Structure 1
Amino acid sequence: MPAPAPDRHPAHDALLARWVGLLTSARETSARETSAREATVPDPGPYGEDLLARWAEPQRRYHTTDHLIAVLDRVDELLLHVRAPDPAAVRLAAWFHDAVYLPERSTNEERSARLAERALTEAGVPAARTAETARLVLVTRDHDPAEGDTNGAVLCDADLAVLAGSPEDYGAYAAAVREEYGFVPDEAFREGRANVLRHLLGLSRLFRTPIGHERWEDAARHNLATELELLSA
């Protein structure tokens, strides 16, 4: 088996197949509507290639293909325990939630949501599912889904699961975030990062699904508090 191209993630082909399967299933509505669209819907492959190219952009250090894989895997894990109204929309939102990512911009979620709306509409995903996907991407701005928003809870829990890693894994995550913001002077970064940590610690629950709260809440709060203490030292 040939080695992957040097600029491609080792999981590229598996991820592309995962995307194709997801988009194909996400297009399904009624048999009549599906039949009417079969001749016109575009190949899902190029959409997946575009997304994977975005996740591999050189300015990324934490928000990389590995982060995408981690979020997709955590979504799958949570959906084994949580009944979400639209699992396909949650998985689509995981693919798009950081598809547009420039560390110096504060509008990444909005731009990612607009990308999802354009791409999924063109790709033949029903309008309601496309709108739900875009809404979910926007929920990741503050990771504070409304009460009863099970789709949002699954996505946000999957995105925040990194906070509950081992001390070593959490340290690697924090270092990668700092590297992404390497253009920011140390004092300004410490202030901005501390504000993010305080926001997260101020949430009544970091993890909104029962299984996520049980598995990850305590470890995540410990890691966040430790980082905040170090930043304030």
Structure 2
Amino acid sequence: MNAADAWKLACGNLSNSESWWEKVIQAYQEPCRHYHNVAFLDRKFKLLDELGTASDMNAVILAIIFQYYEYDPQDRASTNNLAHFQEFASTNDLPQGLRSKVEALLTGNEDDLEKNANGENDVQLLQDLDMSFLGLVSDAFLDIIKLERKEYDFMSDEAYNAMRRKALQTFLLIPNIFLTNVCRDRFEAQARANIEAEVQSLGK
């Protein structure tokens, strides 16, 4: 399942589906998006389909789409993707139950979300999908971190490396990078190996 397939699954019957899909594609094709682009969405939806653990597939699909609908690496705090989703929901008369679930996913509110048999919810799954690149084989991981670096080309190497090192070292301090069992089993060991190798490459 790629991004177009996922959109049709979740939104195919909505009145303004086509016009909003055009907006989504336009947003994810902005020049600053070397990593957070349509290929990024395709990779996430392929993994989502493979895992098959979403409690509400349509809600997770919409959360993935709108999570980075607006993206500015220079000012992440200025983006308001919840508002973009709410505009989409209103113009398409999205059912209130689905709307509430997507809003919970975008805000990280786990209280009202159902859990699967392992006691996990879709907020945790959404976070794991976002972090899954950390657990790719080393060559693929190196390709992605090069793309991520391009999105921060406004930063000097010294500043970027310091920021990156701090974030990576934080991952190494926590007991589990991944929150769901299926992603932990699949990605945790490789993610830690990738992170340790990158931290060493960044130096002190």
- Same fold by TM (over 0.5)? yes
For structure 2, the 5+ residue unaligned runs are 109-117
The aligned residue for residue 37 of structure 1 is none
AA partner of residue 111 (structure 1): N
8 Å Cα contact 2:176/2:184 also seen in 1? yes
Please, what is the CA RMSD of the aligned residues?
2.4
Is residue 114 from structure 1 mapped to residue 87 from structure 2 by the alignment? no
- CA 1:86–1:17 in 2, change beyond 3 Å: closer, same or farther? closer
Divergent runs of 4+, >3 A: 14-18
Match for residue 193 of structure 2? Answer: 222
Gaps of 5+ in 1: 1-10, 26-40, 140-146
Tell me, yes or no, if the aligned pair for 1:16 and 1:49 is still in contact at 8 Å: no
Q: Percent identity?
A: 24
Contact 1:96–1:113 (Cα < 8 Å) also in 2: yes
Cα distance, 1:148 vs structure 2? 4.5
Matching of residues 1-150 of structure 1 within 5 Å: 15-24=3-12, 42-79=15-52, 82=53, 84-107=54-77, 111-139=80-108, 148-150=119-121
Length-normalised TM-score, structure 2: 0.86
Among 157, 166, 188, which residue is 1:195 paired with? Answer: 166
Task: Please tell me the residue identity of whatever aligns with 1:134.
Answer: E
Deviates more, 1:147-156 or 1:55-64: 147-156
Distance in 2 of aligned mates of 1:134 and 1:192: 29
Contact 1:78 1:211 in 2 (8 A): yes
**In structure 2, how many angstroms separate the alpha carbons of the residues matched to 1:197 and 1:213?**
17
- When Rg is computed on C-alpha atoms for both structures, the one with the higher figure is 1
Equivalence for 1:34:
none
Mapped to 1, the partners of 2:173 and 2:23 lie a distance apart of 36
